[in-house]
Amino acid sequence: LCFELSGVYGGVDRGWFPSKVLMRMICLMSWVLFPLALAAQQPYPASVGTIAIAGASETLLEVVPIQPGDILSPEALRLSIQALFEAGAFGRINVDASESPDGTTALTFIVEEPYFLATVILSPATLLERPISNYLNLPHGERFSRTQLDAIVTAVSEQLVREGYFQADIRPTYEVNEQSRLVTVTVGVSVGSPARIRTLDFEGGEQTFSAAELENAFGEEVGDDFVVERLEAGTESIRSEFADLGFLNTVVDFVESYDGVENVVDLSVVVQPGPFTLVQVRGYDLEDATLRDLIPVFEEGSVDPDLIEEGSAGLLEYLRREGFFEASVRAELIAAPRDNAFQVNYLVDSGERYSVREVRIEGHRFFDDEFLYDAIGISRNGLFSRGVFSPDLLEDAADTIER
């Protein structure tokens, strides 16, 4: 009685069998063939005597539900094999039965080591711009099973849809290296033409930008191939346009409707403008371009407490590098629900401005002075600079010297 629950049969270049069919075959083996054979030949006594395991530790028998003295039945064997498979993740489990001198049946579970996934190859390899491993989180090195193969096929199918191939025919095969126990999966794909965009509509955002401006920012138009990666870049571009005007937390998404008869997609881009957000620095004059570089709420397009605090840290580091070594920064968030707006204030106490008079590195004898001074990033004042220093730079300099 042989159960191959992992779906690895032995041999080379297997074809594709749905997992449900495989499980039905196993059920037929356990529920029909085995009882019929017992009824026809009556080869073994019905009572279980000794139980052993070959190919693995005897301690695994603790998980086997069938025990000496139990009645031998297909159901008991099925549950025992299932328990061993789940405990040891074996590639194959056979059961050997023989009659003992005391009139009972001696059972030996013979297990084989599992197979492991080595690599996944997409055929044709030129179908996508990059190898399939660049798109998917493939379970390389993990135990190979029918469930794993199903998951790989599903992931490849979803990625092909993202590339516009809604009608792809996928036929996986795999080859096993019995010596290394490694499996190479080849996902053969037959695709037609990619779907194209038939219609393109914009919902929301018209009070701020015209439909033509939204389409220009989106970058895609009717007749283009449906490629999710480009569409996501388009939605991000629209979101950035709103963020540049101060409308943070703007949500931009697209909804597609696929027509399988004509192989086209009707696309709707939905824009939900976020609240207007005013960001100000008080207590220190800062150029707008510098403010946008330092405060991540602009880059992320989101009013988030963590991002606001990250902006405080960035602003403080900037001030210290400018010579304000004792500066402090405090952020405050003011909400105006009636106006659907926020205001973020960064309250700065810059303190005195210092310059770096001297930088010394003492105690070393393995490097030239200039080599270390160039590496640490701290510099003294010069003709066009008051020097560069901050507590963070000081810690980084110490780490650099240690390395």
DSSP string, 108-158: EEEEEPPPEEEEEEEESTTSSSS-GGGTS---TTSBP-HHHHHHHHHHHHH
What's the whole-number mean pLDDT along residues 332-349?
90
Q: How far apart are CA 178 and CA 115, in angstroms?
A: 8
| Residue whose structure tokens are 């792809």 | 168
Helix, strand and coil content of the chain, in percent to the nearest 5, comes to: 35, 25, 40
Tell me what percent of the residues of the chain surpass a pLDDT of 70.
86
* Both structure tokens of 37: 């054979």
Query: Looking at residue 383, what is its pLDDT?
Result: 58
Burial of 379 (0-12, 13-18, 19+ CB in 10 A): middle
Phi, psi angle pair for 203, to nearest 5°: -120, 120
* H or E segment to which residue 364 belongs: none
* Both structure tokens of 215: 């389409």
Query: Looking at residue 142, what is its pLDDT?
Result: 84
Q: Binning pLDDT at 50, 70 and 90, where does residue 302 land? A: confident
Q: Looking at the predicted structure, is the pLDDT value of residue 44 above 70? A: no
Q: Looking at the predicted structure, is the pLDDT value of residue 165 above 90? A: yes
Q: Looking at the predicted structure, is the pLDDT value of residue 298 above 70? A: yes
Strands 341-349, 276-282: pairing is parallel
Q: Looking at the predicted structure, is the pLDDT value of residue 19 above 80? A: no
What's the whole-number mean pLDDT along residues 218-232?
96
Q: Looking at the predicted structure, is the pLDDT value of residue 6 above 70? A: no
Query: Looking at residue 24, what is its pLDDT?
Result: 43
Q: Looking at the predicted structure, is the pLDDT value of residue 32 above 50? A: no
Cβ proximity of 298 and 279 under 8 Å: yes
- State how far Cα 269 lies from the chain centre: 25
Q: Binning pLDDT at 50, 70 and 90, where does residue 9 land? A: very low
Q: Binning pLDDT at 50, 70 and 90, where does residue 42 land? A: very low
- Does the predicted model carry a pTM greater than 0.95? no
Cβ proximity of 66 and 77 under 8 Å: yes
Query: Looking at residue 251, what is its pLDDT?
Result: 93
Whole-angstrom CA distances from 168 to 16, 124, 165, 172, 224 are: 16, 12, 6, 13, 19
Strand partners, 71: 47
Q: Binning pLDDT at 50, 70 and 90, where does residue 89 land? A: low
Cβ proximity of 240 and 301 under 8 Å: yes
Q: Looking at the predicted structure, is the pLDDT value of residue 292 above 80? A: yes
At 74-86, the pLDDT tens digits run 888 889 888 887 7
> What's the chain's average pLDDT?
83
